[in-house]
Amino acid sequence: MMKLKKLAPFALVAATAWVGIFCLPALLRAQSVGVEAGNVIFTNATGRQAKLTATGRDSAPNLAPDGRRVVFVRATPGQLVATGSGEEEAIELWLIETNGKNATLLVRGASHPQPENVLAGMQAPQFAPDGKRIFFLSAAWATSGAVHTVDPMTKKVAFVCAGNDLEVIRRGEYRGHLIVQQHRYFLGGGSYDWHWLLKPDGKEVGPIGEETQMFKETYLHD
């Protein structure tokens, strides 16, 4: 029987390095969240998946920058809230750890005489880059929704600005700022829907325009 030759030390090092390089993409795979059949799914850095919820009513998950928490939307069938655009499903925002523990109700749909303080039809929850605040959209006026923020520790909700679309910038020169689509009016009559760059408190930085691709290619990089 032919005996296998022992590898020299340098050969072992080279073989180990080669295996390490070959496996590196799998080890560096980014963590992510998704939805299957109305339940939130977390995928860790090795590609292993775990089901975090089991209600069949969950959607729009967003992973915290530290990879330890997920915020998501939970449907509330039959629960309606009056808004400036008619009745909307109440909806809830929830927070859960990526190990499946400590599920917490953050925001519950609620009516209010002032449209900017209505909480209903909530969507697009997103963590700030430091993880200390969560921004989200809510129904509000007849022609516009509203951007709100909630502190995940205190559950305090605050109105930020009017908006029909929202993106929290996590990298680049404007890290922490917001891209918000707003419905505005020309002085001579008529209206338009542009995207605007705003500070986290809703103060305007400047117009982006109808499309955001060029702005993102220019500014949203490390």
Fold of 32-219: Neuraminidase (2.120.10)
- Nearest one of 197, 175, 87, 92 to 130, comparing CA atoms: 175
Predicted local distance difference test score (pLDDT) of residue 13: 39
- Residue-wise pLDDT tens digits, 130-184: 999 999 999 999 999 999 999 999 999 999 999 999 999 999 999 999 999 999 9
User: Is a pLDDT exceeding 60 seen at residue 109?
Assistant: yes
User: Is a pLDDT exceeding 80 seen at residue 71?
Assistant: yes
How would residue 11 be classed by pLDDT, with cut points 50, 70 and 90? very low
C-alpha to C-alpha distance for 179 and 154, rounded to whole angstroms: 25
- Tell me phi and psi for residue 65, to 5 degrees: -55, -30
User: Is a pLDDT exceeding 50 seen at residue 26?
Assistant: no
Residue-range domain boundaries for the chain: 32-219
Check if the beta carbon of residue 197 is closer than 8 Å to that of residue 174.
yes
Query: How far from chain centre, in Å, is Cα 195?
Result: 18
How would residue 30 be classed by pLDDT, with cut points 50, 70 and 90? confident
Mean of pLDDT over the chain: 90
User: Is a pLDDT exceeding 70 seen at residue 73?
Assistant: yes
Predicted local distance difference test score (pLDDT) of residue 1: 42
